[in-house]
Amino acid sequence: MASAAIPFDGNDTECSVCHELFKNPKLLPCAHVLCRHCLLSWLASNPGALCPLCRGAIADPKEKSRTKGWEEVVDALPDDVAMAALVESTRVLSRDHVCAGCEDSGAVSICLHCGDMLCASCTRAHGNLSATRQHTVETLATMTAERLATNQFAACCVHSDKPSELYCPTHGAAICHLCASSEHRACPEVTLFEKRLNELQQELSAMSEMLKAAEGNLDKAISQLDQQLEEAERNANKSLAEIDEACDRLEKSIKACRRRLRELTLVAKEKVEESVQATRADMLSRRGRMTSHRRVVDRVKVTSPPGKLEKATTTVRLRVQGLNLRVTVPSSILSMKTIKVDNTTLARLEKELTFLGEERHISGALSEAKTWQFMKSENIVLSNGNRTAEKVRGQTAIVLSSSPMKENMLYEVQIDTRKGKSSDFFPCGVVKSHPDTLKIPKTALDGWADAVVFSSTVFQFGSEKDYNIDKRLRNLKEGTRVGFVRDAGGFLHLYIDGEKQWIYARNLPKDCYVFFELLHTYQKMTALPMTVTKKAL
């Protein structure tokens, strides 16, 4: 039976190893196709047993040791009968178009029953002969390999010259009327072969749609991941720019501080030098005079004749008495001490810079960028990466978070769809146990002993509290946001549209899971990205 044509590339029928038309094509677990002999050669030279196209596993290498060898492993793989038919049709159409009857005339048509190419006159004769009158003949000008493959003559599994007209489900065999009245006479539910083909086409269409939907979902998921990569690239570049800017500012400030301190130090040094040099020059001059007079005194002492010693001594005495022999450093002379750097300030700055550069700030950015997800529950369909929950049947449906709450993080949902105008509650809260271990009630209002439930009042682990929040969680409009924060002290805080309601539960365990209930008119909600909140009071 002919089906809708699928466009094939000419390379689809070529083996990726030998680059020729497939011979005995084998379908691998990864859905790639290789020739049987090419697959054997590949496995013999690549014992890892991985597909040469995608590196997916062809077979467990241990299978070889449990069998006689790779041949048994390869023969256990299914034959790709559709590819084999397509390859055979390609081979047929690639031959010279010569009439099979005349052998010297060009062929213009092909018999789908016989597979023979025919010229115009033989085509007319083929249609007139009683033996071939029922054969389907198609023109070669419009024939494609796909059409030829899908329109091949379907022969009876026993009588190759008779068409398959019936199908036996008991034996899974396409049979002719002769077989149906003999070997399969006792088989129940023998049906028309055409009906079976329709059933198979419908099954294949359903599989194709299912896979197409999965492809679409994967495309969406990949698109989301691509967006996250783009966001990571964008935010990383922004962060790097801010880090560089901040460090450049610090570096600029440090350089300016260094330059200023050096300038002040050098100015102080210059003032000291200026103050000292003048006095030092005067003292050097005085020292020169002292040295000269000492030499005169020593010369008088050593070389003066006795008769002239009195006169010479008197002369030098008068000179020495005229000298200023006092040596004192003026108090106005400046001195310079070592400039002390404030190590306390430096230590504080180093500590703050070290804290700023700690890895937890980066890991914190990673965790804050994450979104939280729902776990599947009854009467709920999840989409958007398990972040959107929609009630599909019933009056109520409860959905829970897939991971425990983190401290000081706001877990928030947005009400997307409401149907009806009745003034319903929006029950929500937290549970202590992992959702996989919980027996979830029909509604959270049934006295859920494991939970803290916010509705018309607050039920903490089965006990009613006196916080009346009737108006706050009743008749919420589409777009309203409801969420919870668990702080480090074990307090649970309710938020509506980003505003804390000052309603809390106490003594929550470390691991809690948030839940929300689509009760009556509430139909659909979406988990919003987590946000960091200030420490709850």
Q: What is the CATH number of the domain that holds 393?
A: 2.60.120.920
pLDDT given at position 11: 56
**527, 487: one domain:** yes
pLDDT reported for residue 62: 63
Judged against a pLDDT cut of 50, whether residue 4 lies above it is answered with no
Q: How confident is the model at residue 363 (pLDDT cuts 50, 70, 90)?
A: low
Average pLDDT over residues 435-441: 74
| Res. 439: pLDDT tops 60 | yes
Closest residue by Cα to residue 368 from 401, 414, 407: 407
Domain presence at residue 71: yes
**pLDDT band per the 50, 70, 90 thresholds, residue 3:** very low
Residue 367 confidence (pLDDT): 46
Q: How far is Cα 290 from Cα 40, in angstroms, rounded to an integer?
A: 112
Would you say the C-alpha torsion 495, 435, 453, 422 has a positive or negative sign?
positive
Computed over every residue of the chain, the mean pLDDT equals 82
Q: Is residue 110 part of a domain?
A: no
Looking at the domain assignment, is residue 146 inside a domain? no
Domain span holding position 387: 374-532
**Is residue 362's pLDDT more than 60?**
no
Instruction: Give pLDDT, residue 359.
Output: 53
Q: Does 517 share its domain with 388?
A: yes
- Domain assignment of residue 322, yes or no: yes
What average pLDDT does the segment 95-123 reach?
A: 87
Per-residue pLDDT, averaged over 469-476, amounts to 74
Domain boundary among 74, 94, 114: 94
432 and 495, same domain (yes or no): yes
Q: 94, 118, 142 — which closes off a domain?
A: 94
What pLDDT is attached to residue 247? Answer: 87
Pair 381, 322 in one domain: no
Asked whether residue 415 is assigned to any structural domain, the reply reads: yes
- Are 382 and 487 in a shared domain? yes
Q: What is the pLDDT of residues 211-237, one digit of tens each?
A: 888 888 888 888 878 888 888 898 889
For residues 288 and 141, give the distance between their C-alpha atoms in angstroms, rounded to a whole number.
126
pLDDT tens readout for residues 186-218: 898 899 989 998 998 899 888 889 888 888 888
pTM of the complete model: 0.48
For residues 382 and 508, state if they share a domain: yes
What is the band of 2 on the pLDDT scale with cuts at 50, 70, 90? Answer: very low
pLDDT for the residue 509: 82
Number of domains in the chain: 3
Least confident range of 126-130, 347-351, 368-372: 368-372
**Same-domain check for residues 380 and 522:** yes
Q: Are residues 268 and 399 in the same domain?
A: no
Please indicate, yes or no, if residue 154 is contained in any of the structural domains: no
pLDDT at 377: 67
User: From the CB of residue 5, how many other CB atoms can be counted at a distance below 10 Å?
Assistant: 10
Higher-confidence position of 314 and 136: 314
* Residue that finishes a domain, picked among 71, 94, 117: 94
456 with 381, same domain? Answer: yes
Residue 537 has pLDDT above 50, yes or no: no
Q: Is the domain of 408 the same as that of 506?
A: yes
Asked whether 368 and 530 are in contact (CB, 8 A), the reply is yes
Q: Are residues 398 and 511 in the same domain?
A: yes
Is 357 part of any domain? no
For 220, residues 6+ apart whose C-beta sits below 8 A from its C-beta are none
Residue 489, Cα to own-chain centre: how many angstroms?
A: 33
CB neighbour list of residue 258: distance below 8 Å, 6 or more residues apart: none
How far is 468 from 435, CA to CA, in rounded Å? 28
- Given this model, what pLDDT does residue 511 score? 85
Taking 50 as the threshold, does the pLDDT of residue 5 lie above it? no
Confidence class for position 113, pLDDT limits 50, 70, 90: confident
| Whether 379 and 339 share a structural domain | no
390 touches 380 (CB < 8 A): yes
More confident residue, 66 or 47: 47
- 97 pLDDT above the threshold of 70: yes
Least-confidence region, from 53-62, 101-110, 132-141, 257-266: 53-62
CA distances from 262 to 248, 269, 272 (A): 20, 10, 15
Determine contact, residues 40/93, Cβ cutoff 8 Å.
no
Compute how many other C-beta atoms are within 10 angstroms of the C-beta atom of residue 374. Answer: 25
pLDDT in tens, 266-278: 998 999 898 898 8
CATH number at residue 85: 3.30.40.10
For residue 467, the model assigns a pLDDT of: 61
